[in-house]
Chain A
Amino acid sequence: MQARELVVPATSTISPLSMLRKPDPLSDTRMTVSMGPQHPSTHGVLRLELVLDGETVVKAIPDIGYLHTGMEKTMEKEKWQQVVTITCRMDYLNSMGNDLGYCLAVEKLMGVEVPERAKIIRVLLTELNRIASHLVWFGTHAMDIGAMTGFFYAFTHREKILDLFECATGARFHQSYFIIGGARWDVPDNFIPLCEEFLDGFPSLLAEAKKLVTGNKIFQTRTKGVGYISKEDALDWALSGPTIRGSGVNWDIRKSEPYSDYETYDFDVPVYDGGDVWSRYLVRMDEFHESWKICRQALERLKTVSGSVKSDHPKLKLPERDLMKQHIDVMIHHFLLASEGFTVPVGEVYQSIESARGEIAYYIVSDGGERPYRVRVRTPSYVNLAALPAMVEGSLIADVVAVIGSIDIVLGDVDR
């Protein structure tokens, strides 16, 4: 039989010659399989080209871009304050964390001080968001490996957190609540008792999780020794967050470069040095407790610290209406702020914060206008996913599923 011309897609790095041969099922043991983009275990639209030798992965080539919506380009046309509506849609599970990073970056560039009550609200809501994001991780990771019951417990508790977000910000997802200068509005009166109720009931989840999942021998066998990456490789691949803390690197941006008064809160950073899926699991399970501790402390402070939640920098604060109606210069100020928006001084800034997935950093270039000139978002899932082939080559397909869950990627974060 004649060898036919085959068109090889550009994304494949398989040698074209191997595809021109007539396949011989007795000697060719390798098969290329596309895992995704529609797949329940890839946590989104991720496509992995797996070259398999039986059940063993010889090569894994991630193919991303299915969720790319051009957010960085869109941010160039939005005004400075409107960009927070886009940043929360990147890593949609840790939306407040994204907003916080952007707001901190622009505040650094403008030289704006945020009042203390705003900082406390920021910390409280960011840590609640971290708990919510880790709950999704816990539920879906356990479910991928087969321990399906944990999913329901995780999401029940997460519903309570989403109710808290709705109470404070008006939205369950994509809150866009943090703005440059603080928060949009103060939390309502029923937020504090609701939050107390949630924090009181949360440790029961941790106890259930230990019984159901952590102590489960099958789960441990599926995760111990799987997806190993050494400390040196992890640093070389620029992993961050719980993914690198599972390889023994003691690094948390909330401790090393604190923002929003994190240095005044009492919490630990869990680090395990197994370098495998099991270690990363333990790191995130401990992070639940640490975030819970920070939430408790922030809630206590919220009860005592009063004040405005917005900065009174003249570029950010709209003048009072009475003054505006009496004085023409105040009216001009109000009009320009409300219609055109404020400008940010020329310059560039790089601000990184610790999101639930790792280091999210904003590199913002301003040309002095009322829109950002360039917003580059360094997202943790994008950089963490690049190391997936290094973790997965040589193991089984089932291990690929476990490793993807342990890196905890969110495709909105990867693709933007």
Chain B
Amino acid sequence: MSESIEQTQTHSSRYADASIVRTKFADTIEEIIEVIGEITLVVKREGLVELMTFLRDEPSLKFNYLSDIGGVDLGEFASPRFAVAYQLYSLEHNHRLRVKVFLDEDDANLPTLWNVWKASNWLEREIYDMFGVNFEGHPDQRRILMPADYEGHPLRKDFPMKGY
């Protein structure tokens, strides 16, 4: 369902026009969504690192700042189960972009972006800790917020609210 949401004047985040990547990464990108002024690239895991490197280096995009990597658990029986959303920002052009990858539960692996932005180190560690998504090539993949020998991934929907 989508009511028409008016753009209020208090919010002025500009999102980048990412159509330039559509042809270059046609087999990585699944779709480009624009809602409430925010642009999301839904991509496949294959070619993710190349896409991110291109987004970082391409002069008209110049996403030199990885703002956040957020994980979402879409439900215990949902397929795909996890979504990982990369929020990018370019200081030079002052525009943002969201890149989203959907993952199945038994194949929850992603390549690390450590070589693209160093900020991904702790951000990916938290997603590993909270959701159990594995980041291949991560220099230091271990739990960050929970104790080192903890079992279970707290932000999954089947993890009880009160814990164990």
Contact = CB atoms under 8 A, between A and B. Distances in A.
Interface of A: 9-11, 13, 64-65, 68, 70, 72-74, 76-77, 104, 107-114, 119, 233, 235-238, 249, 251, 256-261, 263, 345-352, 359, 361, 363, 365, 368, 373-374, 376, 378, 382-383, 385-387, 390, 415-416
Nearest to A113: B8
Contacts of B91: 235, 249, 251
Given A104-B10, A350-B96, A351-B11, A68 B148 contact: no
Nearest to B66: A238
B64 A235 contact: yes
B32 interface: no
Nearest to A263: B12
Given A104-B10, A108-B11, A259-B12, A350 B38 contact: yes
A114 B11 CA distance: 11
A114 B10 contact: yes
B163 interface: yes
Contact of A237 (B35, B67, B119, B154): B119
Given A9-B148, A73-B155, A376 B68 contact: yes
A64 B144 contact: yes
A345 B12 contact: no
A415 B2 contact: no
Interface in B16-57: 35-36, 38, 40
Contacts of B7: 111
Nearest to A119: B10
Given A111-B6, A350-B87, A68 B145 contact: yes
B55 to A, nearest CB: 14
Interface residues of B, number: 54
Contacts of A111: 3, 5-8, 36
B89 to A, nearest CB: 8
Most chain A CB within 10 A, of B6, B94, B122, is at B122
B35 A261 contact: no
B8 A108 contact: yes
Contacts of B71: 376
B148 A10 contact: yes
A207 B148 CA distance: 48
Interface in B96-152: 96, 98, 117-119, 121-123, 126, 130, 140, 142-149
Contacts of A368: 1
B10 A260 contact: yes
A347 B35 CA distance: 8
Contacts of A251: 91
Contact of A361 (B8, B67, B126): B67
Contact of B146 (A65, A257, A385, A416): A65
B119 A238 contact: yes
A73 B130 CA distance: 10
Given A235-B65, A363-B68, A259 B11 contact: yes
A76 B147 CA distance: 22
A386 B36 contact: no
B10 A345 contact: no
A229 to B, nearest CB: 11
B11 to A, nearest CB: 5
Given A13-B140, A111-B36, 6 more contacts: A64-B145, A72-B155, A119-B10, A238-B119, A345-B5, A361-B87
Contacts of B155: 72-73
Contacts of B163: 70
Contacts of B98: 350
Contact of B38 (A259, A349, A365): A349
A118 B140 CA distance: 45
B94 A256 contact: yes
A202 B66 CA distance: 37
